[in-house]
Homo-oligomer: A and B are copies of this chain.
Protein backbone atom coordinates (compact mmCIF):
# COMPACT_ATOMS: atom_id res chain seq x y z
CA UNK A 1 0.00 0.00 0.00
CA UNK A 2 1.33 3.40 -1.00
CA UNK A 3 0.43 6.17 1.41
CA UNK A 4 1.17 9.87 1.05
CA UNK A 5 1.04 12.01 4.17
CA UNK A 6 1.23 15.81 4.23
CA UNK A 7 2.98 16.62 7.47
CA UNK A 8 3.83 19.59 9.62
CA UNK A 9 5.94 19.22 12.75
CA UNK A 10 5.11 17.55 16.04
CA UNK A 11 1.54 16.47 15.25
CA UNK A 12 2.46 15.11 11.86
CA UNK A 13 5.52 13.32 13.18
CA UNK A 14 3.63 11.63 16.00
CA UNK A 15 0.85 10.60 13.65
CA UNK A 16 3.42 9.07 11.32
CA UNK A 17 4.85 7.00 14.13
CA UNK A 18 1.38 5.58 14.72
CA UNK A 19 0.85 5.02 11.01
CA UNK A 20 4.07 3.03 10.75
CA UNK A 21 2.93 0.91 13.68
CA UNK A 22 -0.48 0.38 12.03
CA UNK A 23 0.86 -0.59 8.59
CA UNK A 24 4.53 -1.54 8.99
CA UNK A 25 4.80 -2.76 5.40
CA UNK A 26 3.27 0.29 3.76
CA UNK A 27 5.30 2.44 1.41
CA UNK A 28 4.95 5.87 3.01
CA UNK A 29 5.93 9.16 1.38
CA UNK A 30 5.84 12.22 3.60
CA UNK A 31 5.53 15.64 1.99
CA UNK A 32 6.95 17.97 4.63
CA UNK A 33 6.13 21.59 5.29
CA UNK A 34 9.03 23.98 4.77
CA UNK A 35 7.12 27.22 5.29
CA UNK A 36 8.39 27.51 8.84
CA UNK A 37 12.01 27.18 7.73
CA UNK A 38 14.19 29.97 9.02
CA UNK A 39 17.75 31.20 8.61
CA UNK A 40 19.40 31.51 11.99
CA UNK A 41 23.07 32.31 12.58
CA UNK A 42 23.63 31.93 8.86
CA UNK A 43 22.28 28.39 8.93
CA UNK A 44 19.22 26.94 7.23
CA UNK A 45 16.89 25.46 9.84
CA UNK A 46 13.96 23.26 8.76
CA UNK A 47 12.02 22.61 11.96
CA UNK A 48 9.22 20.50 10.51
CA UNK A 49 11.42 18.27 8.36
CA UNK A 50 13.74 17.72 11.30
CA UNK A 51 10.91 16.94 13.70
CA UNK A 52 9.66 14.23 11.33
CA UNK A 53 13.18 12.92 10.73
CA UNK A 54 14.18 12.89 14.42
CA UNK A 55 10.85 11.47 15.61
CA UNK A 56 10.80 8.58 13.15
CA UNK A 57 14.56 8.07 13.39
CA UNK A 58 14.58 7.75 17.16
CA UNK A 59 16.47 10.96 17.84
CA UNK A 60 13.68 13.22 19.08
CA UNK A 61 13.38 14.73 22.53
CA UNK A 62 10.14 12.99 23.48
CA UNK A 63 9.16 15.44 26.16
CA UNK A 64 9.53 18.63 24.12
CA UNK A 65 8.46 17.00 20.88
CA UNK A 66 11.13 18.89 18.93
CA UNK A 67 14.91 18.87 18.88
CA UNK A 68 17.28 16.13 19.88
CA UNK A 69 17.16 13.86 22.90
CA UNK A 70 19.91 14.33 25.49
CA UNK A 71 20.48 17.82 24.15
CA UNK A 72 22.72 20.61 25.44
CA UNK A 73 22.75 24.28 24.53
CA UNK A 74 26.37 25.37 24.77
CA UNK A 75 26.72 26.80 21.27
CA UNK A 76 23.63 28.91 21.82
CA UNK A 77 24.91 30.14 25.20
CA UNK A 78 28.16 31.17 23.56
CA UNK A 79 26.35 32.93 20.72
CA UNK A 80 24.40 34.84 23.35
CA UNK A 81 27.68 35.74 25.07
CA UNK A 82 28.67 37.37 21.76
CA UNK A 83 25.36 39.22 21.79
CA UNK A 84 24.17 37.20 18.83
CA UNK A 85 20.58 36.00 18.90
CA UNK A 86 17.77 35.27 18.61
CA UNK A 87 17.72 33.78 22.08
CA UNK A 88 14.07 32.78 21.81
CA UNK A 89 14.71 29.99 19.30
CA UNK A 90 15.95 26.78 20.87
CA UNK A 91 18.82 25.33 18.87
CA UNK A 92 20.72 22.63 20.71
CA UNK A 93 24.29 21.51 20.12
CA UNK A 94 23.38 18.19 18.50
CA UNK A 95 20.71 19.90 16.42
CA UNK A 96 23.26 22.47 15.23
CA UNK A 97 25.14 19.71 13.44
CA UNK A 98 22.10 18.98 11.28
CA UNK A 99 21.82 22.62 10.25
CA UNK A 100 25.55 22.87 9.59
CA UNK A 101 25.47 19.82 7.30
CA UNK A 102 22.32 21.06 5.56
CA UNK A 103 23.70 24.57 5.00
CA UNK A 104 27.00 23.23 3.72
CA UNK A 105 25.21 21.00 1.20
CA UNK A 106 22.84 23.77 0.09
CA UNK A 107 25.82 26.12 -0.34
CA UNK A 108 27.43 23.41 -2.47
CA UNK A 109 24.41 23.54 -4.76
CA UNK A 110 22.33 20.57 -3.71
CA UNK A 111 18.55 21.14 -3.61
CA UNK A 112 16.81 20.78 -0.25
CA UNK A 113 15.19 17.52 -1.35
CA UNK A 114 18.60 15.95 -2.00
CA UNK A 115 19.93 17.33 1.27
CA UNK A 116 16.95 15.92 3.16
CA UNK A 117 17.53 12.52 1.56
CA UNK A 118 21.19 12.66 2.63
CA UNK A 119 20.28 13.56 6.20
CA UNK A 120 17.75 10.71 6.23
CA UNK A 121 20.54 8.32 5.21
CA UNK A 122 21.62 8.63 8.80
CA UNK A 123 18.21 8.68 10.48
CA UNK A 124 16.47 6.00 8.43
CA UNK A 125 12.99 7.25 9.33
CA UNK A 126 11.31 4.35 7.51
CA UNK A 127 9.46 6.75 5.23
CA UNK A 128 10.48 8.74 2.21
CA UNK A 129 10.63 12.33 3.40
CA UNK A 130 10.36 15.03 0.71
CA UNK A 131 10.14 18.75 1.36
CA UNK A 132 7.06 20.26 -0.28
CA UNK A 133 9.36 22.36 -2.46
CA UNK A 134 13.04 23.03 -3.10
CA UNK A 135 12.22 26.72 -3.46
CA UNK A 136 12.27 29.16 -0.60
CA UNK A 137 8.88 29.66 1.00
CA UNK A 138 8.62 31.49 4.30
CA UNK A 139 5.41 31.86 6.20
CA UNK A 140 4.96 35.40 7.48
CA UNK A 141 2.30 36.58 9.85
CA UNK A 142 0.76 40.04 9.64
CA UNK A 143 0.34 41.44 13.13
CA UNK A 144 -0.49 44.80 14.60
CA UNK A 145 2.16 46.07 16.96
CA UNK A 146 2.17 49.56 18.52
CA UNK A 147 -0.59 50.58 16.13
CA UNK A 148 1.48 49.54 13.15
CA UNK A 149 0.77 46.59 10.91
CA UNK A 150 3.83 44.56 10.10
CA UNK A 151 4.77 41.13 8.86
CA UNK A 152 6.96 38.93 11.00
CA UNK A 153 8.40 35.48 10.41
CA UNK A 154 6.11 32.70 11.52
CA UNK A 155 8.68 31.49 14.05
CA UNK A 156 8.82 34.91 15.65
CA UNK A 157 5.04 34.92 15.93
CA UNK A 158 4.84 31.33 17.13
CA UNK A 159 7.92 30.86 19.30
CA UNK A 160 8.84 34.34 20.48
CA UNK A 161 5.35 35.81 20.84
CA UNK A 162 3.63 32.49 21.60
CA UNK A 163 0.85 33.67 19.25
CA UNK A 164 -0.06 36.26 21.87
CA UNK A 165 -0.76 39.03 19.37
CA UNK A 166 -3.59 38.84 16.88
CA UNK A 167 -2.61 37.33 13.55
CA UNK A 168 -4.40 39.33 10.88
CA UNK A 169 -3.13 37.33 7.94
CA UNK A 170 -0.91 34.35 7.23
CA UNK A 171 1.17 34.67 4.07
CA UNK A 172 3.37 31.87 2.71
CA UNK A 173 5.82 34.27 1.05
CA UNK A 174 7.26 32.81 -2.12
CA UNK A 175 4.69 30.01 -2.37
CA UNK A 176 3.12 31.38 -5.54
CA UNK A 177 6.40 30.95 -7.43
CA UNK A 178 7.38 27.66 -5.80
CA UNK A 179 7.39 24.34 -7.59
CA UNK A 180 6.64 21.04 -5.86
CA UNK A 181 9.88 19.22 -5.07
CA UNK A 182 10.79 16.29 -7.34
CA UNK A 183 8.65 13.30 -6.42
CA UNK A 184 5.82 15.13 -4.68
CA UNK A 185 3.29 15.10 -7.51
CA UNK A 186 4.35 11.62 -8.61
CA UNK A 187 3.84 10.23 -5.12
CA UNK A 188 0.38 11.77 -4.88
CA UNK A 189 -0.56 10.46 -8.32
CA UNK A 190 0.55 6.91 -7.46
CA UNK A 191 -0.82 6.83 -3.93
CA UNK A 192 -3.45 4.38 -2.72
CA UNK A 193 -4.44 6.81 0.00
CA UNK A 194 -3.53 10.37 0.98
CA UNK A 195 -3.68 11.28 4.66
CA UNK A 196 -3.88 14.70 6.30
CA UNK A 197 -2.74 14.14 9.90
CA UNK A 198 -3.99 16.29 12.77
CA UNK A 199 -1.42 18.96 11.87
CA UNK A 200 -2.04 22.68 11.77
CA UNK A 201 -4.47 23.18 8.86
CA UNK A 202 -3.21 26.70 8.12
CA UNK A 203 0.54 26.96 8.66
CA UNK A 204 1.45 23.29 8.15
CA UNK A 205 -0.89 21.51 5.74
CA UNK A 206 -2.25 24.77 4.37
CA UNK A 207 1.24 25.86 3.36
CA UNK A 208 1.95 22.57 1.60
CA UNK A 209 -1.33 22.91 -0.31
CA UNK A 210 -0.37 26.50 -1.22
CA UNK A 211 2.47 25.29 -3.43
CA UNK A 212 1.01 25.56 -6.93
CA UNK A 213 -0.01 22.15 -8.20
CA UNK A 214 -0.12 20.35 -4.87
CA UNK A 215 -3.71 21.08 -3.89
CA UNK A 216 -4.84 20.28 -7.43
CA UNK A 217 -2.90 17.00 -7.40
CA UNK A 218 -4.30 15.93 -4.02
CA UNK A 219 -7.86 16.95 -4.89
CA UNK A 220 -7.64 15.22 -8.25
CA UNK A 221 -5.89 12.08 -7.04
CA UNK A 222 -7.40 8.69 -7.68
CA UNK A 223 -6.66 7.88 -4.06
CA UNK A 224 -9.11 8.79 -1.32
CA UNK A 225 -7.97 11.76 0.79
CA UNK A 226 -8.68 11.33 4.49
CA UNK A 227 -8.08 13.99 7.15
CA UNK A 228 -7.97 13.86 10.93
CA UNK A 229 -9.18 16.83 12.91
CA UNK A 230 -6.51 18.70 14.89
CA UNK A 231 -9.34 20.38 16.82
CA UNK A 232 -10.96 18.38 19.60
CA UNK A 233 -13.78 19.82 21.69
CA UNK A 234 -13.33 23.27 20.17
CA UNK A 235 -9.63 23.62 20.95
CA UNK A 236 -6.38 22.47 19.34
CA UNK A 237 -5.10 19.21 20.80
CA UNK A 238 -1.73 20.93 21.06
CA UNK A 239 -0.24 24.16 19.80
CA UNK A 240 -2.17 27.26 18.98
CA UNK A 241 -3.96 26.35 15.76
CA UNK A 242 -7.02 28.33 16.88
CA UNK A 243 -5.01 31.57 16.57
CA UNK A 244 -4.07 31.02 12.95
CA UNK A 245 -7.49 29.62 12.09
CA UNK A 246 -8.95 32.91 13.32
CA UNK A 247 -6.58 34.74 10.97
CA UNK A 248 -8.11 32.94 8.00
CA UNK A 249 -11.64 33.36 9.32
CA UNK A 250 -12.22 29.74 10.31
CA UNK A 251 -13.70 28.84 13.67
CA UNK A 252 -11.74 26.39 15.80
CA UNK A 253 -14.08 23.42 15.51
CA UNK A 254 -13.62 19.99 13.98
CA UNK A 255 -16.39 20.66 11.45
CA UNK A 256 -15.18 24.10 10.42
CA UNK A 257 -11.70 22.77 9.64
CA UNK A 258 -13.21 20.08 7.39
CA UNK A 259 -15.24 22.74 5.58
CA UNK A 260 -12.12 24.86 5.29
CA UNK A 261 -10.29 22.02 3.51
CA UNK A 262 -13.45 21.50 1.43
CA UNK A 263 -15.28 18.60 -0.15
CA UNK A 264 -13.24 19.02 -3.32
CA UNK A 265 -10.14 18.03 -1.35
CA UNK A 266 -11.39 15.66 1.34
CA UNK A 267 -12.95 12.26 0.74
CA UNK A 268 -13.31 11.58 4.42
CA UNK A 269 -12.84 13.26 7.79
CA UNK A 270 -12.33 11.95 11.28
CA UNK A 271 -13.45 13.92 14.31
CA UNK A 272 -12.86 12.98 17.93
CA UNK A 273 -15.52 11.08 19.81
CA UNK A 274 -16.30 14.20 21.85
CA UNK A 275 -17.15 15.97 18.60
CA UNK A 276 -19.65 13.32 17.43
CA UNK A 277 -22.24 16.09 17.10
CA UNK A 278 -20.13 17.57 14.27
CA UNK A 279 -20.48 14.51 12.04
CA UNK A 280 -23.80 15.54 10.50
CA UNK A 281 -22.52 19.02 9.68
CA UNK A 282 -19.42 17.63 7.96
CA UNK A 283 -21.44 15.08 6.00
CA UNK A 284 -23.90 17.82 5.01
CA UNK A 285 -20.90 19.52 3.42
CA UNK A 286 -20.42 16.41 1.31
CA UNK A 287 -17.59 14.85 3.32
CA UNK A 288 -18.05 11.35 4.82
CA UNK A 289 -17.22 11.65 8.51
CA UNK A 290 -16.71 9.37 11.51
CA UNK A 291 -16.22 10.12 15.19
CA UNK A 292 -13.40 8.10 16.78
CA UNK A 293 -10.82 8.71 19.54
CA UNK A 294 -8.28 11.22 18.21
CA UNK A 295 -5.94 11.77 21.15
CA UNK A 296 -2.37 10.70 20.32
CA UNK A 297 -1.66 9.71 23.90
CA UNK A 298 0.76 6.98 22.87
CA UNK A 299 1.91 5.14 19.77
CA UNK A 300 -0.78 2.48 20.05
CA UNK A 301 -3.60 5.03 20.39
CA UNK A 302 -2.12 6.84 17.39
CA UNK A 303 -1.90 3.59 15.41
CA UNK A 304 -5.60 3.05 16.11
CA UNK A 305 -6.31 6.51 14.65
CA UNK A 306 -4.33 5.61 11.54
CA UNK A 307 -6.29 2.37 11.20
CA UNK A 308 -9.55 4.31 11.43
CA UNK A 309 -8.34 6.67 8.70
CA UNK A 310 -7.40 3.76 6.44
CA UNK A 311 -10.73 2.04 7.18
CA UNK A 312 -12.59 5.20 6.17
CA UNK A 313 -10.51 5.34 3.00
CA UNK A 314 -11.57 1.81 2.05
CA UNK A 315 -15.18 2.65 2.90
CA UNK A 316 -15.40 5.77 0.74
CA UNK A 317 -13.41 4.37 -2.17
CA UNK A 318 -13.62 0.54 -2.21
CA UNK A 319 -10.81 -1.10 -4.17
- Contact residues of A with B, CB < 8 Å? 41-43, 72, 74-79, 81-84, 93-94, 96-98, 100-101, 103-104, 107, 119, 122
Q: Are A107 and B75 touching (Cβ within 8 A)?
A: no
Residues of B within 8 A of A100 (CB): 41-43, 75, 79, 84
What 4 pairs between A and B have smallest CB-CB spacing?
Answer: A78-B97, A42-B104, A74-B93, A79-B97
What is the distance, in angstroms, from A132's C-beta to the closest C-beta of chain B? Answer: 23
Determine the distance from Cα of A156 to Cα of B11 in the docked complex, in whole angstroms: 45
A79 contact set on B, CB distance < 8 A: 97, 100-101
Q: Which of B81, B98, B122 contacts A83 (CB 8 A)?
A: B122
Copies in the complex: 2
Between-chain CB contacts (< 8 Å), 25 pairs: A41-B101, A41-B104, A42-B100, A43-B100, A72-B74, A72-B93, A74-B93, A74-B94, A74-B97, A75-B75, A75-B94, A75-B100, A78-B97, A78-B98, A79-B101, A81-B97, A81-B122, A82-B97, A82-B98, A82-B101, A83-B122, A84-B100, A84-B104, A93-B93, A96-B96
Decide: B75 and A97 in contact? CB cutoff 8 A. yes
Give complex CA distance A97, B84 in Å.
Answer: 9
Contacting residues, chain B, for A83 (C-beta < 8 A) = 122
Contacts of A78 in B (CB 8 A): 93-94, 96-98
